[in-house]
Amino acid sequence: MECLLLIRRLCSLALILAQISVHSRASEYEYLGWKLDGYNSGRGYAKSLQCVDIPEDLRLCHNVGYSQMLLPNLLDHESMAEVRQQASSWVPLVLKGCHPGTQVLLCSLFAPVCLERAVPPCRWLCEAVRDGCSPVMEAFGFPWPDMLTCDKFPQDDVCIVNTTGNTTQMGHPTTFTAGPSPVCPSCDVETEMEVILEHMCASEFAIKAKIKEVTRERSDRRVILEKRRRLLKGDLKKKELKKLVLLLKNGADCPCHQLERLGNTYLIMGRKVDKQHLLTGIHQWDKGSPEFRKAMKAHQSHKCPAFHTVFK
């Protein structure tokens, strides 16, 4: 289907690629079709489109494969401050590597490539990312959001589709896997200071504790802690902290090496969803790690971004 579209609209595609070569590096994207009349981003732009450089602190899309983006974007954000605020909450999802096109999909909306008009993602790209990443989001208690309802994206008009499994992620080159990691999403965490701080910011509470027991409860795992617990972040009441039992959502069968080492001390992060406390991240309490020590020192004064909750 893609080949037929490319052949039928060769002239249009050549013009688009010529524009891209002037404005950005677009080797990782393919632009299909030509007309965008059927796609509306929402309330309509209140300002004229302008090309701006993608700043380094826009970690979701910096080094995504092109250097300039359009404002307003396809989510009707009219300022870079608004883009930063909203985009930061999606960084953890990209870090999960649940689909090779996740960053491409999100950045086509938050930071569309600089052309005469914003080009939306293709519907099949959205559907592929949704199928790969929605189970990860559900593990953290989040449904697939309305802003990524795939039916509203075009499938026959101009649209962006990821054409490679290799991209540049969060400022450093990486290779995405073809699908979600076999490790439980909450357990598949990196030890870099920035990653730990992002997970701390994205969690409602964080505690220092040892794990006493792990049991299976249908498709989930219940994590029971030792009595001695230290609250590092959050407003859990003393009684609530004392009785706290964490749930690893849909984690009955996926590997989580942290939960296999009972008696170790961990940095445990979570969110309260309905009446359940979900485990959203777990790091070994490792004072021998320079990155971990820096994160624990920095979190006390670290100012978390005041973003609207989308994915944490």
Which tens digits make up the pLDDT trace of 175-228?
333 344 577 888 877 778 887 887 788 788 999 999 999 999 888 899 999 989
Residues constituting the chain: 312
Structure confidence by residue, pLDDT tens digits, 26-73: 334 444 433 333 444 444 444 688 999 999 989 899 888 899 999 999
Q: Helix, strand or coil for residue 143?
A: coil
More confident position, 27 or 160: 160
Distance CA 303, CA 295 (A): 13
pLDDT of residue 138: 81
Single-letter amino acid code for the residue at 296:
M
Q: Could you identify the residue written with the tokens 């409602």?
A: 204
Q: How confident is the model at residue 18 (pLDDT cuts 50, 70, 90)?
A: very low
61 token code pair: 């899309």
Structure confidence by residue, pLDDT tens digits, 245-264: 999 988 888 888 888 888 88
Q: How confident is the model at residue 148 (pLDDT cuts 50, 70, 90)?
A: very high
Q: Residue 304 above 80 pLDDT?
A: no
Task: Confirm or reject CATH 2.40.50.120 for domain 193-298, answering yes or no.
Answer: yes
pTM for the whole thing?
A: 0.62
Same fold, 2-175 and 193-298: no
Structure confidence by residue, pLDDT tens digits, 111-129: 999 988 889 999 999 999 9
pLDDT of residue 174: 30
Q: Residue 23 above 50 pLDDT?
A: no
R_g over Cα of the chain: 21
Question: For the range 223-231, what are the long-range contacts, defined as Cβ-Cβ under 8 Å and sequence gap of 24 or more?
Answer: 223/247, 223/248, 223/259, 223/268, 223/279, 225/268, 231/205, 231/206, 231/207
Q: Which of the following CATH numbers is that of domain 2-175: 1.10.2000.10, 3.40.1110.10, 3.40.50.740, 1.10.3720.10?
A: 1.10.2000.10
Q: Residue 4 above 50 pLDDT?
A: no
pLDDT of residue 54: 95
Least confident of 48-52, 76-80, 138-142: 138-142
Distance CA 269, CA 107 (A): 27
Domain coordinates in residue numbering, the chain:
2-175, 193-298
pLDDT of residue 92: 80
pLDDT of residue 168: 30
Cβ neighbours of residue 249 closer than 8 Å, sequence gap 6 or more = 138, 139, 140, 141, 220, 278, 279
